[in-house]
Amino acid sequence: MRGTAPEDEKRVHRPALRRSTTAIAAAALLLPLSGAPSANAGQPRPDRLARAFTDAAARFHVPRSVLLGVSYLESRWDEHGGAPSVTGGYGPMHLTDARTALARVPEFSEPGQDARGDGARPRRQVASGPAQRAALPAQLPPRLRTLPTAARLTGLPAARLRTDPAANVLGGAALLAAEQRRLGLPAAADPAQWFAAVAHYGGQDDTAGGRGFADEVYAVMRQGQARTTDAGQRVTLAAAPRLTPDAAQAKRLGRPATKASAARTGHGLECPWTVACESVPAPYEEYGDHDYGNHDKANRPADQKVDAIVIHDTEGSWEVTLKLIKDPKYVSWNYTIRSSDGLIAQHVPTKDVAWHAGNWYVNSHSIGVEHEGFLAAPDAWYTEAMYRSSARLVKYLSRKYGLPLDRQHILGHDNVPGTTPSTIPGMHTDPGPYWDWAHYFALLGKPFHHTAGPSGGLVTIRPDYAGNQPRYTGCEKPGDVCAPHGSAAVRLYTAPSETAPLVKDVGLHPDGSDSTDGVNDTGARATTGQQFAVARRSGDWTAIWYLGQLAWFRNPHDAPTAVDAKGLIATPKADIAEVPVYGRAYPEKAAYPAGVPYQAVTPLPYKIGAGQKYAVGGRVTGEYFYAPTFDVSKHAIVRGKDVYYEIQLGHRVGYVRAADVDVRPSDS
């Protein structure tokens, strides 16, 4: 995440934290209504929010840089139109009131779904939605109810703190000042003296999470940031490269959990030392009639290579998600990241195989990382704290397993292919079109830039996130238009016109129906970072090869939605009219030993025609992990001779046999 260009950062986010304060602090900091900022009226000035930070800092004697740094980690200064985050947070300071925001069903809970994706053992179906809902506690943790506290401290109505950004900033300043008082610390002008208050603001019920949050806030203050928010407000935080937190405060809070410290408690953690990380183990248990859950023991990378990290969102709250991961009858994933402060929980060691992607081949060769949030609720906020913590984790894992940091190896769950034609319509669609891949890869230190001229042969999809707001439907109810919002995806048409039909996905819509603008319909969508071979250009439009057909997207010279690139492409051999595509790279039948049932490599309903070209992500040899029982002595790894290439087939990746294609540089 080092070296990120401050202005290049995109726009969705939202963390959640805060803390209750004492009645004494509340009385001391009570702000009369007459001193509150005025409500928005007419067209807001572009410096309105910047002035709100200045006024709030002066009112509560909080250093302005501290207030800006905390708000950046919470929301990147965005207002989200007054919409709450997944944990009920509002406004630039993410003041929380979460009572109505938590009772939703996580992504793995649809009846009939199979997250394991392996036909070698009886298909396990997770329980349906209502049975998996977690009842909210009578008393929510402090991090989920900071807005009422801010209302008491400021004397402002809660409704105003939700809808008026200036009032929201004032509320955040009041919380920070009250925290500083509670800790017995002076209202110092030196930002270094506010480290503990920032940590408590960010992790009231979790010391490790708060420490990690504060570390990120101070990193932002050292680096500096400048951006235009979702409401057109220009905000700048000047860099303070020599800023160091007060040593005594930092020592009192301790370091975030590390692998070494975690090992002393019996739970070794695989996390970088720069993040807050805890162990919430997923159970490996037998139950019922010789069934078991909720993952498989393995010894990666000694027995199988890890060649992908899959990015998910939970479609549920942190509380519900952690309840489910502890259920042996449920499915599993390796990590969950909390949106409020970026706290990471590890559930399954990366050497073992979690059941997370709905494709057993991908599961066997990947690590699954869940992020608290909802794909169809853009203003549920994938937070900056979450993005940064996730990026640190993924960089660590990429080094551990030698993974390139590109979109062929860092996949969304919505990029994982179905295993057979029948499974394609049920594949998951998270993290969805509102996950900001450009910002995420900037934090990974691998921003998407052009790597070739127009003759490079490939394009990397790269729209301006904030300005790219295609219409989506179905965020709340089927057919209803979603709120306008920045998106990482561009829409694909059959001709160079927005009035042309969308390209079809015969796997997703086997009845021959058209692709739609539904938020969960990935059939005519290309997403930031994905690379495709250029087929044609026409004025402001570019055509790419996609699911065996030409697909056009608008790509004007003065506002490009893709950048030119070069790399390897796969194309059918000269004597082959069309090439089948597969959803998994399994071995040939002759490779299976006695006692291990053959796994058919069933073609998907897509064909690559002569002359078509597809970007290559990697080369793999056919492999199958046979794990039908709890007894690991009966597990086996089948390795064949068939070689496959992973290609960017459409929105999802696919596999083609090396024997069927020629691979060459795209600019040759």
* In a domain? residue 119: no
In a domain, 396, yes or no: yes
pLDDT in tens, 36-74: 344 444 566 899 999 999 999 999 999 999 999 999 999
265, two tokens: 């408690």
238 and 261 within one domain: no
Can you tell me the mean pLDDT for 372-392?
A: 85
Q: Which of 202, 236, 253 is a domain's end point? A: 253
Find out whether the peptide bond into 417 is cis, omega within 30 degrees of 0: no
Task: Examine the pLDDT at 534 and tell me if it is beyond 70.
Answer: yes
Please give the full DSSP string across 335-380, using - where no structure is assigned: EEE-TTT--EEE-S-TTSEE--SS-HHHHHTEEEEEESB-TT-GGG
Q: Say yes or no: 160 and 46 in one domain.
A: yes
Q: Is 0.95 topped by the overall pTM? A: no
Mean pLDDT, residues 63-91: 91
Domain that residue 581 falls in? 571-665
Structural domain includes residue 161:
yes
pLDDT of 316 reads 80
- Same domain, yes or no: 189 and 72: yes
Q: What is the mean pLDDT of residues 577-597?
A: 97
pLDDT at 111: 47
What's the CA gap between 125 and 117, in Å, rounded? 10
Structure tokens at 241: 């490269």
pLDDT at 138 > cutoff 70: no
Q: Kindly state the average pLDDT of the residues 194-207.
A: 85
- Please provide the average confidence, as pLDDT, over all residues in the chain: 87
d(CA 229, CA 81): 11
* CATH number for the domain harbouring residue 207: 1.10.530
pLDDT at 140 over 90: no
Above 80 in pLDDT, residue 206? no
Q: Which range (79-93, 428-442, 508-522, 625-639) has the least confidence?
A: 79-93
- Maximal CA-CA distance, the chain: 83
Q: So what's the pLDDT on residue 24?
A: 27
Cα-based distances in Å from 302 to 299, 306, 352, 618, 620 = 6, 10, 11, 19, 16
Checking if the pLDDT of 258 tops 80, the result is: no
Kindly report the number of other CB atoms within 10 A of residue 350's CB atom: 21
What is the pLDDT, as a whole number, of residue 99?
Answer: 63
Does 15 score more than 90 pLDDT? no
List b or e across 551-564, with b for residues whose CB sees 16 or more CB atoms inside 10 angstroms.
Answer: bbbbbeeeebbbbb
Position 112 confidence tier, pLDDT thresholds 50, 70, 90: low
Select from 514, 533, 566 the last residue of a domain.
Answer: 566
Quick one: how far is CA 58 from the chain centroid? 36
- Distance CA(478)–CA(29), nearest Å, equals 47
Query: Which pLDDT score, from 0 to 100, does residue 212 have?
Result: 86
Closest among 265, 267, 246, 353 to 310, alpha carbons compared: 353
Q: Regarding predicted confidence, which is higher, 101 or 172?
A: 172
Claim to verify: residue 300 and residue 422 sit in the same structural domain: yes
More confident site: 290 or 546: 546
Number of domains making up the chain: 4
Contact 529, 567 (CB under 8 A): no
Omega prior to 137 cis, within 30 of 0: no
| Residue 272 C-alpha from the chain's centroid | 18
Domain membership flag for residue 29: yes
- 427 and 452 belong to one structural domain: no
Q: How confident is the model at residue 377 (pLDDT cuts 50, 70, 90)?
A: confident
Same domain, 150 and 215: yes
Residues of the chain above pLDDT 70, percent? 85
What are the strands of the beta sheet with 549-554, ordered from one edge?
549-554, 541-546, 531-538, 458-461, 562-565
CATH of the domain at 422: 3.40.80.10
Averaging pLDDT over each range in 102-111, 339-348, 584-593, which range is the top one?
584-593
Q: What is the structure's pLDDT at 422?
A: 94
> Do 189 and 228 belong to one domain?
yes
Whether 337 and 378 map to the same domain: the answer is yes
Residue 121 lies in a domain: no
Q: What is the pLDDT of residues 118-137, one digit of tens each?
A: 877 665 555 444 344 444 55
Any domain includes 580: yes
Is 61 within the bounds of a domain?
yes
Whether 181 shows a pLDDT value over 80: the answer reads: yes
Is 349 part of any domain?
Answer: yes
- Do residues 416 and 318 share a domain? yes
Same domain as 299, residue 194:
no
Mean pLDDT, range 292-301, rounded to an integer? 94
Do 594 and 549 reside in the same domain of the chain?
no
**Residues 505-522: pLDDT tens digits?**
999 999 999 999 999 999
Q: What is the pLDDT of residue 142?
A: 80
Residue 574 CB neighbours (<10 A): 7
Q: Looking at residue 113, what is its pLDDT?
A: 58
Same domain, 57 and 94: yes
Domain endpoint, select from 548, 566, 584: 566
Quick one: average pLDDT of 394-410? 97
Residue 103, pLDDT > 60, answer no
Does 213 or 377 have the greater pLDDT score? 213
Residue with tokens 């490269």: 241
Instruction: Say what the pLDDT of residue 58 is.
Output: 97
Is the pLDDT score of 35 beyond 90? no
**pLDDT score recorded for residue 240:** 97
Report the half-sphere exposure of 452 (CA within 13 A, side-chain side). Answer: 20
